[in-house]
Amino acid sequence: MLNKQWLTTDLARDCNTFISRLSNTHELLQQACINPALLSVGWPATLIAQLMPYLVATQPQLIQVNQTLLFATLPLDDNLLLIGPLTNPEILKNAHQLTLTDKPFSQLDHVPYINTQFLLQLLLNYFNLTHSIELTQADLLTTAPFNLDYLAQKAYTQHTFEQQESQLMHNSYLQEIQGLNSVTAGDIERLIANRKTFFRNGIGLPYQNNLRNAKNLAISVVAVVCRAAIKGGIHFETAFSMSDHFIAQIESLDTITAVVQLARQIEVEYTLLVHQQKQATNPHTHNPKVEKMKQFILSHQNEPVTLQDLAKYLNSHENYLSALFKRIEGQTITAYILATKIEYSQQLLIYTAKPISEIAAFIGFSSQSYFSHVFKKATATTPNQYRKANTFQ
């Protein structure tokens, strides 16, 4: 069993600063520090509450306060270690930037300097020793949006892509992406129809007999569904507050069945919230035929889809469907098809190391050059530039 008290004290020696061990509800369980100067200054009573939006127990985080102080977080089973304060004159573009008016630890002479590479390697060493998932520096320093859930999104994308390639998909990516789009659209009926999101037959095969892995997968569900809800219009503070609550619930469960049931309920809760938000702002945008068209497009994302295919699927006239889609969605069917392929390719570029030629072929482009041309037209950057800009090299 992991000795958390010893690990907290040991890390305090390595970093020469405060190490605060928190519960999954952010209660302070232990605080260690061997730095006499910092001990003389003391720990600000409100600092943990001010840092709380970034205290997410799924992956290490870097937090830069007032561009001078540096903090780091390290997940530890159902606890979280908060490391800091530290100083580093470098402005870290991949750290969460936080401005506080009360300026804690303003006397920087008391705060120890730490080299960025040393801190990153320290976080990697401790995380990889205590978790079954192995991180790299790219995972810690990704510039992807919402990087609070980067690790979950990376594992999710890589896993589903590899299974789709091998035709061993106990969790079909297309069903999963339909589920996430159901959350973003606030479409509870479509979510239930695609009930295989993340779990099939109760739980994915690698997790059937391991409660810890089941909880990890459920936390991944929370991360990506939370992101989908934000995309659907839910304020990020509301979404992340719900995320914290759900993660605490997941950690409290003691059976795989209960974890799976809660993961499914979490999808429903976020979807209902998005639905209520959309109904309050614009109650007339939902159209069953348009939703069926979108669902068909998403379920054939690595195949060519034409207006004729949609007309045949819905037994409707092509011109009618084209006009209806444009009126409801504000874009043509062709534009929507292209946007879904580009969005999927962006995920694959960030979260996998697959060659661009392979990604292009996988999502249905005839050549890498044509894919690159379309991608640049849509995003104002090439696939290679996009990958380099959104992953740490």
Structure confidence by residue, pLDDT tens digits, 258-306: 888 888 888 888 888 888 787 776 655 667 788 888 878 877 777 888 9
Contact 102, 96 (CB under 8 A): no
The residue whose two tokens read 């991608």 is 375
What pTM was computed for the model? Answer: 0.45
Contact 75, 127 (CB under 8 A): yes
Contact 259, 215 (CB under 8 A): yes
Length of the chain: 393
The residue whose two tokens read 């061997």 is 34
Query: How would residue 173 be classed by pLDDT, with cut points 50, 70 and 90?
Result: very low
Determine the pLDDT at residue 128.
Answer: 78
* Assigned token pair, 372: 């690159």
Q: What stretch of H or E contains 50?
A: helix 47-51
351-376 pLDDT, tens digit per residue, is 677 889 988 988 888 889 999 999 99
The three-class DSSP label of residue 65 is strand
Q: What is the mean pLDDT of residues 24-40?
A: 85
Q: What string of DSSP letters covers 297-311?
A: HHHTTTS---HHHHH
CA distance 63 to 223: 19
Strands 96-98 and 61-65: parallel
Q: What percent of the chain has pLDDT over 90?
A: 12
Query: How would residue 177 be classed by pLDDT, with cut points 50, 70 and 90?
Result: low
The residue whose two tokens read 């969460």 is 96
Residue-wise burial string across 76-110, b where 16 or more C-beta atoms lie within 10 A, e elsewhere: bebbbbbbbbbbbeeebeebbebeeeeebbeeeeb
